[in-house]
Amino acid sequence: MKELFDIVSEKCSERVTKSYSTSFSIATKMLSSNIQQDIYNIYGFVRLSDEIVDSLHNYEKERLFNRFEKDLKNSIKEKISLNPILNSFQHTYHRYNFDMELVDSFMKSMRWDLHKKKYLTKSDYNEYIYGSADVVGLMCLKVFVNGNIKRYTELKEYAMSLGSAFQKINFLRDIKNDFENLNRSYFPKIDFLNFTEEDKQNIISEIENDFKNGLKGIYMLPNNARFGVYTAYRYYYSLLKKLKKTPSKFIISTRIRIPNYVKMGLLAESYLNYRLKTYK
């Protein structure tokens, strides 16, 4: 009956994805059906880790995180876990032969969120982004190329750029919550008590460069993944454009969102661009 448990585990990862992220779940539905579940499995693992450090404020986060990390390592070693999210993740981990360095780097960045509040150097900032976002893109890339090392190596740089762009947009969008509620400041040398238009523009320019490089990689993805990743790109790029138009004083006082009806319009527009090969 292990097969039934695996099915239940995967349904849990899918439900986590759909419950926590409308944008990501829609983009995942645009992938070929044979790889959707593996992306759900990756997202479920990532989201559960993030929830421990970001949301469970009334509990001993570090103890929970330590237990979760131990369970993660055991699940990979034993190829099973009674935690359904970890059980489905280890299945994808082994199917595509993930490098444990990717998982370790992700967990390192999540652990930093338990105690590290300010990123004062560019080095720490880049290391956090690599661990919290780039490696997630690389795990997804392993799925997209079906574990092909040559294709993975060719596309690795672009996947990292796209992961960085997505994460930096999240940082910019979530400044109010990160700064006021979590007492975190990811952008080095930025004073959020005096967040200027110049500060905002410098961040946006950095994100635009990441997007420009990331888009090159989307063109090169296999057909089973290209439209889904392009859909995610369009969602995040539309959010970047909205942030670009929003005065800096409002960015630090509210959370900028893209309404669901706009997301559906973007999906239709993305499909048209994809079919006509007019990516933008």
pTM for the whole structure: 0.92
**Which among 18, 255, 43 has a CA at the least distance from the CA of 137?**
43
Q: What is the pLDDT along the chain (280 residues), one digit of tens a residue?
A: 789 999 999 999 999 999 998 888 989 999 999 999 999 999 999 999 999 999 999 999 999 999 999 999 999 999 999 999 999 999 999 999 999 999 999 999 999 999 998 898 999 999 999 999 999 999 999 999 999 999 999 999 999 999 999 999 999 988 888 877 888 889 998 888 888 999 999 999 999 999 999 999 999 999 999 999 999 999 999 999 999 999 988 888 777 777 765 666 766 666 566 655 665 6
Q: What is the DSSP code string of 170-193?
A: HHHHTHHIIIIIS--B-STT--GG
Residue 24 exposed, middle or buried by CB count within 10 Å (0-12, 13-18, 19+):
buried
CATH H superfamily, domain 2-276: Farnesyl Diphosphate Synthase (1.10.600.10)
C-alpha distances (whole Å) from 4 to each of 9, 42, 121 are 9, 20, 48
Tokens representing 151?
Answer: 């294709």
Residue 20 exposed, middle or buried by CB count within 10 Å (0-12, 13-18, 19+):
middle
Ramachandran angles phi, psi of 185, nearest 5°: -140, 105
CA 27 to CA 15: how far, in whole Å? Answer: 15
